[in-house]
Amino acid sequence: MDATTNNKTATLTVGNNSYELPILTGTVGPDVVDIGKLYAQTGMFTYDPGFTSTASCQSKITYIDGDAGVLEYRGYPIEQLAERGDFLETCYLLLYGELPTRAQKDDFDLRITRHTMVHEQMARFFQGFRRDAHPMAVMVGALAAFYHDSTDINDPKQRMIASMRMIAKIPTLAAMAYKYSIGQPFMYPKNSLSFAGNFLHMCFAVPCEEFKVNPVLSAALDKIFTLHADHEQNASTSTVRIAGSSGANPFACIAAGIACLWGPAHGGANEAALAMLKEIGSVDNIPEFITKVKDKNSSVRLMGFGHRVYKNYDPRAKIMQQVCHEVLAETGHHGDPLLKVAMELEKIALSDPYFIDRKLYPNVDFYSGITLKAMGFPTDMFTVLFAVARTVGWISQWSEMLEDPQQKIGRPRQLFTGHTRREYVGIDKRD
Ligand code: CMC
């Protein structure tokens, strides 16, 4: 179902002139004022740094109610998908719009797990990177450079093939980036394993030893992937859509999304949250840290807290906290002092007026760093894991954008505040 107008309008008054702007209604969520013709009608732009009040597209994929703490993929609550389904089922749902039947699911799983190998030349490509290159940099380079323009982006069948390739092969590239950074040989994927189990195998197995996938850790990783699969028009997804709006190939678009995800305010937050917990070190140091966070001159933030959209508990954070306890119990880290610091920090922050007034609640990244660390992942792999999971969301949104008849190249305007026209002065005549 597309947005409806219901003949509702908003009136904009500028001086003596009034303009009627259509109001569009979706299936759920706030209405939007359609300002697409505003410049043509009034000669004015709108101004919205950070797009806090701007809907950049129509989408049927993911719905968030930030005030109520709701996240739904194609209408299904994240709690139900994480508890009752698995990551590949979520991938199918995001790509096709419906949950698969048993036969569709079996076929989809087979198609993904049978396409996990990457071209052997990729192994040589990795040698070009410095040994200590960040795995995110390796991922961006590998995707953008290696997979050239092989997809007719206007053909839905080819778009789906590219999407499946990406979901299947990005974990392999991610695991290779990790192995390269620690100087271990690459492990070929094992098609008999589950998606998450295979990823653990490619990261942690070595050729000289038998490796058995731990089912608790594999189930936990699968849940973590589901929680991160999509999150509507966040910074990296918007980056993918903007990159795709120019007609760039899907591999380059996903590389752009990975680059955006890298930042500490987005996907890098779990790495930053873990670093913060380590810096605090013990429960005794929390009050001093909280004082710094509240000091406007300190620029210290409570990492893993706050969200542009959620002004309530991030629904992913609740599931993540439970996964964290399961993983730490399984790996024997339940006494981890960092977990104690995290739980105490959460308790204090949730009762402190500074956080309550600003509606700052734990987000998904608050517990994911401790969890991934306990699973054996080094911190610079955290964002890579996020990218592995988010690939399906990015590619579903990219495909939806290309199907949208209203799709145009993304091209925001600006409010210019620089110099007005002035004459060039030769270098010898400048003071
Ligand atoms: N710690 C302390 N104060 C905070 C925090 C925080 N984590 N987040 C926001 N604030 C304060 C901020 O100082 C401001 O206070 P005041 O009104 O007095 O100036 C107020 O809350 C509003 O902050 P904002 O920066 O305008 O909010 P935003 O919506 O632009 O920022 C955010 C959202 C996620 C960037 C921010 O909350 C943040 O930096 N959090 C820490 C980083 C983090 O955990 N990021 C992961 C986000 S979830 C993963 C994902 O989806 O990518």
Strand order in the sheet with 62-65: 62-65, 70-73, 76-77
Closest C-alpha to ligand 1, atom 26: 308
pLDDT given for residue 101 in this prediction: 98
Closest C-alpha to ligand 1, atom 12: 358
Q: What is the dihedral of CA 359, 365, 366, 367, to 10 degrees?
A: 140
pLDDT given for residue 3 in this prediction: 86
Q: How far apart are CA 172 and CA 175, in angstroms?
A: 5
Q: Could you tell me where in the chain the CATH 1.10.580.10 domains are found?
A: 62-412
β-strand partners of 64: 71
The pLDDT profile of the chain, 431 residues, written as one tens digit per residue, is: 688 887 899 999 999 999 999 999 999 999 999 999 999 999 999 999 999 999 999 999 999 999 999 999 999 999 999 999 999 999 999 999 999 999 999 999 999 998 899 988 888 888 888 888 888 888 888 777 666 656 788 899 989 998 999 999 999 999 999 999 899 999 999 999 999 999 999 999 999 999 999 999 999 999 999 999 999 999 999 999 999 999 999 999 999 999 999 988 888 888 888 899 999 999 999 999 999 999 989 989 999 999 988 988 899 999 999 999 999 999 998 888 888 898 899 888 889 999 999 999 989 988 898 899 999 999 889 999 999 999 999 999 999 999 999 889 999 999 999 999 999 999 999 98
Pocket of ligand 1, candidates 258, 355, 358, 394: which has the most ligand atoms within 8 Å of its Cβ, to mutate?
358
Residue 308 Cα to ligand 1 middle (Å): 7
Task: Name residues contacting ligand 1 (CB within 6 A).
Answer: 231, 234, 265-267, 269, 293, 301-308, 358, 360, 363-365
Residue 382 Cα to ligand 1 middle (Å): 20
Which atom of ligand 1 has the smallest separation from the CA of 273? 44
Closest C-alpha to ligand 1, atom 52: 266
pLDDT given for residue 302 in this prediction: 93
Q: Could you tell me where in the chain the CATH 2.20.28.60 domains are found?
A: 9-61
Residue 144 Cα to ligand 1 middle (Å): 31
Q: How far apart are CA 274 and CA 373, in angstroms?
A: 9
Closest C-alpha to ligand 1, atom 4: 301
Strand order in the sheet with 32-33: 9-14, 17-24, 32-33
Pocket of ligand 1, candidates 53, 54, 356, 360: which has the most ligand atoms within 8 Å of its Cβ, to mutate?
360
Which atom of ligand 1 has the smallest separation from the CA of 231? 51
Closest C-alpha to ligand 1, atom 2: 301
Reported CATH class of domain 62-412: mainly alpha
What tokens does 144 get? Answer: 């953008």
Radius of gyration of the chain (CA): 24
Residue 332 Cα to ligand 1 middle (Å): 33
Which atom of ligand 1 has the smallest separation from the CA of 354? 3
Reported CATH class of domain 9-61: mainly beta
Helix residue ranges per DSSP H, 246-285: 250-261, 269-280
Confirm if 57 and 401 have CB atoms less than 8 A apart.
Answer: yes
Which atom of ligand 1 has the smallest separation from the CA of 235? 52
Closest C-alpha to ligand 1, atom 41: 303
Residue 307 Cα to ligand 1 middle (Å): 6
Residue 37 Cα to ligand 1 middle (Å): 33
Q: DSSP per residue over 155-186, as a string?
A: -HHHHHHHHHHHHHHHHHHHHHHHHHHHTPPP
Instruction: Provide the whole-model pTM.
Output: 0.92
Pocket of ligand 1, candidates 305, 318, 355, 361: which has the most ligand atoms within 8 Å of its Cβ, to mutate?
305
Q: Is the dihedral of CA 82, 244, 266, 262 positive or negative?
A: positive
Closest C-alpha to ligand 1, atom 8: 306
Question: Which residue numbers are catalytic?
Answer: 307, 365
Which atom of ligand 1 has the smallest separation from the CA of 305? 7
Closest C-alpha to ligand 1, atom 29: 308
Residue 360 Cα to ligand 1 middle (Å): 7
Residue 358 Cα to ligand 1 middle (Å): 9
